[in-house]
């Protein structure tokens, strides 16, 4: 989503600093950091690399993609996650033809010194080659400023430019991080706040926008420009609350820098994205950034799932930043701020006895409260998601100026609208049928799949079927774990393609079968074509069986060799059920 301001008047970096706006203090810090960074570089290699070179050059918008660059925009050159100096140099040279100036996270001297290498590390320049590189750089059509720490204040710069064109009040932000539950919780927070009087929007895997009008997103957490433009757009639409998903990639790459996150939620951590993170400790460290006021100075409350083994990492980070920590749990024997003391699940939803004890975290004088809640959301794990969403909604009320009725009355007010909630698309989504029970779910990790199957197993009078695969070009070590999770939780398993991307689906399926026993093979059906796999499940499932189509959920495509073909599990399932005469 690209947002063009109504005026789009040219502005300079110096003017952004001087304008009388709510961002002025933050911009002053940005300016100081940029001056320090550029001065340091100028002192060591090139006297022309100083912020004064670009400070008074008018520009229109910041751009991160050279293909979107228009005349006199300011281009930000960031390091690629698969770095290649040749490509970065090409981007730089192409952008220089139209850009007013370029701010580069990559050392431009190194780019013009090195012809083509696979890494940015240990690049040095000396002698004639460095002189030649400086000459090439000087010959470009616009100045290039090397700012290696640009990510530390990029969001501030982008939002300040947007606000310069037309000041708007930005919505408060609730950010959700964790391996599972981000989409559901962010949508539940938006629904709960909207049902209790706050205009809300969401940003994440299932789409971006106001509730009921989501636009499909390409990433869980967009780049810094997309995130800031969307926040600003929601401000122009008078949204008061934005609930967003904070992926580990987005946090690690500082895409959420400058987002006014006031409430942060942690769900859980299980094996995922180890093709990006070196190990689980690094994965957890990336998630923990969300609870650090050094990164998110507006943060007041951390909502943390105390049942997860990595919870203490998040708690320690939040407490070190003097953030109020509220915990939630499905274990009635645990001391947590919000506890599901009793859970009665069914295929129609769940009845919950919510025990809330704000006093357990030293944030009030109220007594422990027990409230009965009826939720339409399927699955035990959705109880945890609901507790997190309720806690976040209460925290927002505590932060609001009109909060004067006490925390527990607000818990009751929020709990009263829970029966009106709708589950996120592709999350335990039941597709109508005359007999049997057919569910579409996004579960694409071993832990998520195990939770989905465990939630449904208790309601299954017949056999529980699981149809799923694994994505290509991703963590191959997860593949046999996914198969074992399905076999442990389901009676019948159908292994099929997910998003194979550039890999052969049969190779992925072969990886998934590693370590399977003879007994497991006997209740496993292999069908690489996903539509055929769904058709097989529908034709073989009995009237008392439950079938789960897992892994893709809300996705409306299947990616094969860089092409996204139309494929929506719920639509394919509906069509297959109709053809089988089961609707």
As annotated, the binding site for ATP includes 178-184
The secondary structure of 399-411 as a DSSP string is: HSTT--S-HHHHH
- Tokens describing residue 516: 């399977």
Where is the binding site for meso-2,6-diaminopimelate, in residues? 474, 498-501, 551, 555
Take residue 495 and report the two structure tokens written for it: 């292994």
- Report the alpha-carbon distance of residue 486 to residue 469 in Å, rounded: 10
**Residue 331, by phi and psi: left (phi above 0), alpha (psi -120 to 50) or beta?**
beta
Helix (H) or strand (E) holding 266: strand 261-266
Tell me if 142 sits within 8 A of 102, measured CB to CB. yes
Phi-psi region of 238 (alpha: psi -120 to 50; beta: other; left: phi over 0): left
What span, in angstroms and rounded, lies between the C-alpha atoms of 175 and 86?
36
Distances (CA, A) of 49 to 36, 53, 373: 11, 7, 61
Tokens, residue 2: 């690209």
DSSP string, 285-332: HHHHGGG-TTT-TT--EEEEETTSTTHHHHHHHHHHTT-EEEEEES-T
Backbone angles phi, psi at 11, to 5 degrees: -145, 160
Yes or no: say if 475 and 271 are a contact pair by the CB < 8 Å rule. Answer: yes
CA distance 28 to 40: 18
Q: SS3 letters for 362-383?
A: CCCCCCCEEEEEEECCCCCHHH
Return d(Cα 308, Cα 179) in angstroms, integer: 11
What whole-number distance in Å separates Cα of residue 564 and Cα of residue 566?
Answer: 7
User: In sequence order, what are the residues at sequence separation of 6 or more whose Cβ sits closer than 8 angstroms to the Cβ of residue 276?
Assistant: 81, 248, 249, 252
Could you tell me if residue 576 is left (phi over 0), alpha (psi between -120 and 50 degrees) or otherwise beta?
A: alpha
Rounded CA gap, 280 and 276, in Å? 11
Strand bridging mode 563-566 / 429-431:
unpaired
The length of the chain in residues reads 583
Longest Cα–Cα distance of the chain, Å, equals 78
Tokens 């774990």: give the residue: 481
Q: Quickly list DSSP for 410-432.
A: HHHHHHTTGGG--PPTTSSEEEP
| Cα gap 55→222, rounded to integer Å | 28
Q: What is the DSSP letter of 344?
A: E
Residues within the annotated binding site? 64, 66, 178-184, 220-221, 247, 253, 255, 474, 498-501, 551, 555
DSSP 361: G
| Cβ within 8 Å of residue 51, ≥6 positions away | 13, 31, 34, 35, 38, 39, 145
């Amino acid at each position: 989503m690209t947002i063009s301001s109504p005026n789009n008047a040219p502005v300079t970096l110096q003017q952004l600093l001087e304008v009388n706006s709510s961002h002025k203090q933050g911009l002053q810090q940005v300016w100081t950091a940029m001056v320090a960074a550029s001065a340091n570089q100028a002192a060591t290699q090139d006297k022309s690399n100083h912020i004064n070179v670009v400070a008074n050059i008018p520009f229109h918008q910041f751009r991160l993609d050279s293909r979107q660059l228009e005349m006199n925009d300011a281009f930000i050159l960031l390091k690629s996650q698969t770095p290649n100096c040749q490509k970065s140099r090409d981007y730089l040279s192409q952008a220089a033809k139209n850009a007013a100036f370029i701010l580069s996270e990559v050392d431009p001297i190194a780019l013009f010194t090195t012809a083509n290498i696979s890494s940015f590390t240990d690049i040095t320049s000396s002698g004639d080659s460095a002189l030649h590189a400086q000459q090439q750089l000087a010959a470009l059509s616009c100045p290039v400023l090397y700012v290696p720490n640009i990510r530390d204040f990029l969001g501030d710069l982008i939002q300040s430019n947007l606000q310069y064109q037309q000041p708007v009040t930005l919505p408060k932000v609730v950010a959700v991080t964790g391996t599972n539950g981000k989409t559901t919780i962010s949508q539940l927070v938006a629904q709960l706040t909207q049902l209790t009087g706050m205009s809300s929007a969401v940003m994440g895997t299932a789409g971006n926008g106001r509730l009921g009008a989501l636009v499909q997103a390409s990433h869980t957490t967009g780049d810094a420009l997309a995130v800031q433009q969307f926040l600003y757009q929601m401000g122009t639409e008078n949204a008061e609350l934005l609930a967003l998903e904070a992926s580990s990639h987005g946090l690690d790459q500082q895409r959420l820098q400058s987002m006014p996150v006031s409430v942060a939620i942690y769900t859980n951590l299980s094996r995922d994205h180890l093709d990006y993170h070196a190990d689980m400790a690094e994965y957890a460290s990336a998630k923990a950034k969300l609870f650090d006021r050094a990164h998110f100075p507006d943060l007041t409350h951390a909502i943390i799932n105390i049942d997860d083994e990595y919870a203490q990492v998040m708690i320690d980070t939040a407490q070190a930043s003097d953030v109020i920590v509220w915990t939630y749990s499905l274990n009635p024997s645990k001391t947590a701020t919000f506890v599901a003391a009793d859970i009665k699940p069914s295929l129609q939803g769940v009845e919950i006895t919510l025990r809330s004890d704000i006093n357990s975290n030293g944030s009030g004088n109220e007594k422990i409260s027990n409230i009965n809640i009826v939720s339409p959301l399927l699955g035990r794990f959705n109880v945890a998601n609901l507790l997190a969403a309720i806690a976040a909604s209460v925290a927002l009320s505590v932060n609001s100026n009109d909060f004067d009725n006490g925390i527990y009355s607000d818990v009751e007010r929020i709990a009263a609208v829970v029966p009106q909630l709708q589950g996120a698309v592709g999350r335990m989504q039941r597709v109508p049928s005359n007999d049997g029970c057919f569910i579409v779910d996004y579960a694409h990790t071993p832990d998520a799949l195990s939770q989905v199957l465990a939630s449904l197993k208790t309601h299954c009078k017949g056999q529980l079927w699981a149809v799923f695969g694994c994505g290509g070009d991703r963590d191959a070590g997860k593949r046999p774990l996914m198969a074992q999770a399905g076999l442990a939780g389901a009676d019948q398993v159908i292994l099929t393609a997910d998003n194979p991307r550039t890999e052969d689906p049969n190779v992925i399926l072969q990886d998934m079968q590693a370590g399977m026993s003879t007994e497991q093979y006997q209740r496993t059906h292999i069908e690489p074509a996903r539509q055929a796999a769904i058709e097989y499940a529908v034709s073989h499932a009995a009237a008392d069986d439950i079938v789960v189509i897992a892994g893709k959920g809300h996705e409306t495509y299947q990616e094969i060799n860089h092409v996204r073909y139309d494929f929506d599990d719920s639509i394919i399932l509906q069509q297959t059920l109709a053809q089988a005469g089961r609707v």
